[in-house]
Every structure is written in C-alpha cells, then in structure tokens.
C-alpha cells in the first residue's frame, strides 16, 4: 500500500461504513473468536449470530448492521448441520436471502489450496449480495488446519491466510474455537484464565475480540451458558457479561442475567480497551 499524508489518510473512506456488532465488539474487517469447552453451545451460538447479523437484528442487547454472512463449517455432516439450521429457522421470518452456508469437511485453511477454496466462496457471496459487507464464520478452528493448532508457526499460517482474505476482500471474521483442558488450583477449584484459556496461544494474540462461553449447569439441563467479553480491543466502555438459557426445542437463546461490571473493575486482559 502507498504511504499517505495526514490529509490523504483523513480523506480516505472505507468501502463500507459502520460496524457488524456495535460497542467495539465486531467492527468491520476485524476478527472475533468465540471459545469454550465442548458442549458449551458454541456452534449454536454461531448459527444464532449468523441469522442475527444477516437480518440486522439485536444481538444480546447489542445493535448489528446487516451484512452478508457465510457460515463455513467443517465439523458436522451436512445432514446433521441442516437439522440444526432447520430447527433454528422454524422461528425466523422472513428467512434472510443474504445468509449462506457451506459444509466442507476437508478444507484446510492453512494451505494454499484451502485458502483458494474459501476465496472462491467469498467471491460467490459477494456476487450474490453485492451491496453488503461480508462476514465469514469459521467453525471450528482446529478442524480447519492441517497443522497443529497448539503450534505457533502452524497457527500463524492459518491466521495469515485469514488476514490475506481480510485485506483483499474486506471481510470480517468470526472463528469458533475450543478452550484448553480445565485447570484446577490446589483446592480443586477451576482456574479462570480468560482469553488465555484458548487452545493455541497464537489466536489469542491475533484476534481483536474474544468471547468465552462457559456451561453453567453441566449436571442439570446443560443449557445455561455464560458469555464473557474476555478481550475487546476496540471497545471504549466496559461491556457486561451475560448468561443465556438455550432452548432445545427452537435453539434460540434467552438472556437470563446481565453481569454489570463495576466502574473501577480492571479489564480481564490488560490490552482490553487500552486506547492509549
């Protein structure tokens, strides 16, 4: 890219203005990671988020701006994935025409071949929704890599490829990711590590926003989850964590509790909201 004077920089306008999710959660062309242990409803959250953004609806109390969404999943067989989408969409009207799905079980985005395949899909989405910014949701990260996600260099190839698409096409990225094994202290209590609990540290350093998903009732119901803003580099105010209860009948969430941070409460991650 050419160097610019201050006048040129201030005169520059992006292709799309605004945000995907407000309050700095997901500005355009940024990278969000949803992480947590298995069975924490992360993939259902990705479906809910895809529909919400495609329709421009409220996302857990936060405004969204309508975008074209590609949910690119590699974990479930297409038939099982369709069952989830069908169950969720039964309570959605009208169905968004700017929401797209792809099941590609052998895609590896840390390879040139995998990158070219996703690039082709992004171009297809842009052609079908030419007047909207594009959001890609990738689920899950470890299945999208040929290398080892715990290896920094392997993961860097993956993130560099995502950044290539971001720069080339202006896409915004949401990645579904697993956390590491539970850590216990000497008293047997779970040690909460925030965004450092991501499996593979490179993603934690790379993303702009990290949202942790923690199952609250693993022995009864297995349907209540706490969502925590563990890293939000672009937020200008403290964001409230919240708890949701997921419906097994509709796969839609209901916010059951908002945890308002204290004004003098330090951020979970020292880089959160560091505007200096």
Residue 182 belongs to a domain: yes
Residue 273 belongs to a domain: no
If one counts the domains in the chain, the total is 1
pLDDT, position 83: 97
pLDDT, position 275: 32
pLDDT, position 2: 86
Residue 12 belongs to a domain: no
What does DSSP say about strands 26-27 and 68-73: parallel, antiparallel, or unpaired?
Answer: unpaired
What is the average pLDDT score of the chain?
88
Q: Are 103 and 36 in contact (CB under 8 A)?
A: no
pLDDT in tens, 9-27: 999 888 778 899 999 999 9
- Cα distances from 62 to residues 80, 221, 257, in angstroms, run 30, 27, 15
pLDDT, position 184: 38
pLDDT, position 272: 40
Q: What CATH number did the domain enclosing 52 receive?
A: 3.40.50.300
Residue 9 belongs to a domain: no
Residue 268 belongs to a domain: no
- The residue range of the domain holding 62 is 18-259
Residue 8 belongs to a domain: no
- Cα distances from 115 to residues 110, 139, 178, in angstroms, run 7, 15, 22
Residue 136's nearest CA partner among 29, 57, 19 is 29
pLDDT, position 73: 97
The SS3 assignment for 184 reads strand
Residue 265 belongs to a domain: no
- β-partners of residue 231 are 210
Residue 4 belongs to a domain: no
Tell me, rounded to whole angstroms, the distance of Cα 44 from its chain centroid. 12
Q: How many CA atoms lie within 13 A of 235 on its CB side?
A: 22
pLDDT, position 149: 87
pLDDT, position 198: 57
d(CA 228, CA 224): 13
The SS3 assignment for 76 reads coil
- Contacts with 23 (C-beta within 8 Å, 6 or more apart), sequence order: 62, 235, 236, 237, 239
d(CA 29, CA 92): 27
pLDDT, position 96: 97
pLDDT in tens, 51-71: 999 999 999 999 999 999 999
Range scoring the smallest mean pLDDT among 4-13, 123-132, 257-266: 257-266
């Amino acid at each position: 890219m050419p160097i610019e004077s201050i006048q040129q920089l201030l005169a520059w306008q992006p292709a799309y203005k605004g945000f995907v999710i407000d309050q700095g959660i997901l500005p355009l062309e940024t990278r969000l990671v949803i992480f947590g242990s298995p069975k924490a409803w992360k993939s259902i959250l990705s479906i809910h988020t895809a529909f919400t953004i495609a329709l421009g609806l409220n996302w857990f109390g936060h405004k969204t701006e309508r975008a074209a969404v590609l949910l690119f999943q590699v974990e479930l067989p297409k038939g099982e994935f369709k069952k989830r989408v069908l169950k969720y969409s039964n309570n959605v009207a009208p169905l968004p025409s700017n929401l797209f799905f792809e099941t590609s079980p052998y895609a590896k985005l840390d390879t040139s071949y995998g990158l070219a395949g996703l690039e082709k899909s992004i171009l297809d989405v842009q052609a079908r929704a030419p007047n909207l910014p594009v959001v890609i949701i990738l689920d899950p990260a470890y299945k999208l890599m040929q290398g080892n996600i715990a290896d920094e260099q392997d993961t860097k190839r993956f993130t560099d490829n995502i950044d290539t698409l971001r720069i080339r096409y202006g896409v915004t990225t949401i990645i579904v990711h697993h956390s590491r094994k539970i850590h216990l202290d000497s008293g047997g209590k779970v040690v909460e590590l925030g965004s450092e609990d991501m499996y593979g540290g490179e993603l934690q350093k790379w993303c702009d926003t990290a949202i942790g998903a923690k199952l609250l009732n693993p022995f009864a119901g297995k349907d209540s989850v706490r969502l925590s803003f563990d890293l939000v580099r672009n937020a200008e105010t403290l964001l409230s964590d919240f708890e949701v209860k997921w419906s097994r009948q509709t796969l839609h969430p209901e916010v059951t509790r908002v945890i308002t941070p204290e004004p003098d409460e330090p951020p979970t991650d020292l880089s959160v909201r560091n505007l200096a």
